[in-house]
């Protein structure tokens, strides 16, 4: 999706790596990149401005969670606000359809030609049928007989009922006749597909407004193609002014879209995005999930997974405690060493960790045998477990005899115990050098 956003953010995350906190100045740099990326992706300027202001406010107020670098933390804030921009702030009910109308509940479909209105009508019919609703569809597109036939075809494919209409009828009459039929045949839902044009057109707007006034639908859904950019904003504005929209359906999200429409449409209409079209097939409709969409727009699954874990507080307290201990002159002992190893394991193990890294790192790491590395960590933990508490607190006590006992206890060779002790020594030396402040930094490095 918003490739540039991903690239720009990644760049800033990298440059912010050395810094300890989110500040006015390092945040400003990142926000500049976010702003540019959003504008490049055709997000409307007012939406961008509002978005940036919110992210800034949140970012400066946000505690950077122990394990995250400020760059990663900022990505987390951007994700949350993107989700909010696309409707997460409205709660999960926002994407639901209302049936609070004397049966049938009427759904009016609005949008330009080619956006996927008819296909989406079929998809909705299928979706509702799966909820055990008796569904009737009708086409008020009297300009294109092919459109009526297309709706009939998709309706039959999903096993819903179809109310026939012809090019000689008037849209309002068609809608009223279908409504009458639906009432008589106890349909729960009537979906009215309408005529689209290639561009906004006064006559079309009047026509759909007249249909709206005649049947008073409980849902008026604006269908918009996610592949179009700025134009989507103007169309959304025009439809929103002509009709009391209740929601938006974004189609073609499976395509190679820049996603700007997804971000602006909610801002422009103030209406929730209820569904997303994700394929040409009739089962390709999903309830819109703002948080998931935000992840997708960001395209930074790696960092977001880390943010998610940090939010869950994966032993970050332990890391902070360890850092404090060393800072105040405490010793980095075997228990600390094990805590660090365990932390790596908790983060989903080495291979789990690998999944969270960006693709280019994954490729680079593909050469290394991750299973092997994971096994190694497990064995090292086993060795530490075979030590007495005293040995763990004072590893320098561990001489030949003790090494043999520990190796036997852990079921490994003495060489392996030696290797582990060497690794511990190296870590210990590093710890002394880093003196705590650097420890957190190192852990961050380990995570991202
Ligand atoms: P209408 O003119 O708005 O009624 O548009 P149609 O329903 O005829 O759809 C136009 C084209 O978009 C058709 O080729 C559909 O198969 C395609 N389409 C509709 N929705 C989606 C979607 O979610 N994903 C993809 N890839 N194609 C879609």
pLDDT, one tens digit per residue, over 26-54 is 788 878 888 888 887 777 788 889 889 99
- Return the residue whose CA atom lies nearest to atom 16 of ligand 1: 280
48, 65, 86 - which closes a domain: 86
281 is in an annotated binding site: no
- Return the residue whose CA atom lies nearest to atom 27 of ligand 1: 280
Long-range CB pairs of 241-246 (<8 Å, 24+ gap) are: 242/205, 242/208, 242/209, 243/108, 243/110, 243/205, 243/208, 243/209, 243/212, 244/212, 244/220, 245/110, 245/220, 245/221, 245/269, 245/271, 246/98, 246/218, 246/219, 246/220, 246/221, 246/271
Residue 77 CA to ligand 1 centre (angstroms): 34
Residue 374 CA to ligand 1 centre (angstroms): 47
Q: Is the CB of 251 under 6 A from ligand 1?
A: yes
Residue 273: inside a domain: yes
235, 268, 287 - which closes a domain: 287
pLDDT in tens, 75-110: 888 888 888 888 888 777 888 899 988 999 999 999
Whether 3 has a pLDDT exceeding 70, the answer reads no
Residues 106 and 191 in one domain: yes
Residues 102 and 248 in one domain: yes
Residue 302: inside a domain: no
Q: Is the CB of 277 under 6 A from ligand 1?
A: yes
Residues 79 and 107 in one domain: no
pTM of the predicted model as reported, rounded to 2 decimal places: 0.69
37, 61, 86 - which closes a domain: 86
Q: What is the DSSP letter of 137?
A: E
Residue 151 CA to ligand 1 centre (angstroms): 12
Residue 295: inside a domain: no
Residue 307: inside a domain: no
Residues 114 and 41 in one domain: no
Residue 162: inside a domain: yes
How many separate domains does the chain show? Answer: 3
Domain hosting 28: range is 3-86
Whether 122 has a pLDDT exceeding 60, the answer reads yes
């Amino acid at each position: 999706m918003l490739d540039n956003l991903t690239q720009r953010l990644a760049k800033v995350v990298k440059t912010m790596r050395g810094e300890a906190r989110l500040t006015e100045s390092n945040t400003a740099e990142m926000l500049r990149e976010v702003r540019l990326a959003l504008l490049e992706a055709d997000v409307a300027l007012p939406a961008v401005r509002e978005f940036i202001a919110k992210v800034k406010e949140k970012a400066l107020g946000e505690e950077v969670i122990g394990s995250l670098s400020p760059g990663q933390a900022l990505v987390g804030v951007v994700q949350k606000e993107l989700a909010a921009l696309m409707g997460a702030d409205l709660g999960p009910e926002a994407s639901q359809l209302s049936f609070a109308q004397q049966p049938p509940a009427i759904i009016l479909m609005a949008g330009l030609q080619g956006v996927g209105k008819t296909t989406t009508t079929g998809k909705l019919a299928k979706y509702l049928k799966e909820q055990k609703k008796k569904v009737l569809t009708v086409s008020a597109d009297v300009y294109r007989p092919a459109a009526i036939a297309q709706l009939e075809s998709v309706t039959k494919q999903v096993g819903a009922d179809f109310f026939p209409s012809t090019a000689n009828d008037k849209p309002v009459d068609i809608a009223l006749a279908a409504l009458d039929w639906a009432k008589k045949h106890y349909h729960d839902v009537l979906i009215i597909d309408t005529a689209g044009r290639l561009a906004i057109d006064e006559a079309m707007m009047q026509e759909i407004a007249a249909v709206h006034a005649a049947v008073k639908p409980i849902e008026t859904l604006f269908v918009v193609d996610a592949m179009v950019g700025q134009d989507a904003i103007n169309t959304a504005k025009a439809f929103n002014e002509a009709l009391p929209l209740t929601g938006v359906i974004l189609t073609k999200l499976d395509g190679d879209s820049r996603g700007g429409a997804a971000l602006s449409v909610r801002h422009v209409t103030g209406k929730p995005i209820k569904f997303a079209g994700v394929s040409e097939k009739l089962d390709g409709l999903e309830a819109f999930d703002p948080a998931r969409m935000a992840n997708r727009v960001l395209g930074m699954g790696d960092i977001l997974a880390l943010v998610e874990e940090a939010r869950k507080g994966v032993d970050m307290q332990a890391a902070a405690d360890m850092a404090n201990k060393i800072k105040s002159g405490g010793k980095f002992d075997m228990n600390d060493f094990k805590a660090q190893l365990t932390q790596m394991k908790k983060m989903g193990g080495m291979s789990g960790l690998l999944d969270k890294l960006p693709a280019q790192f994954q490729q680079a790491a593909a050469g290394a045998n991750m299973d092997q590395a994971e096994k190694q960590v497990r064995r090292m933990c086993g060795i530490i477990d075979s030590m007495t508490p005293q040995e763990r607190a004072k590893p320098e006590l561990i001489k030949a005899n003790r090494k043999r006992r520990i190796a036997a206890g852990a079921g490994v060779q003495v060489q392996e115990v030696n290797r582990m002790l060497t690794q511990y020594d190296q870590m210990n030396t590093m710890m002394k050098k880093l003196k705590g402040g650097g420890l957190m930094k190192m852990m961050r490095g380990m995570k991202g």
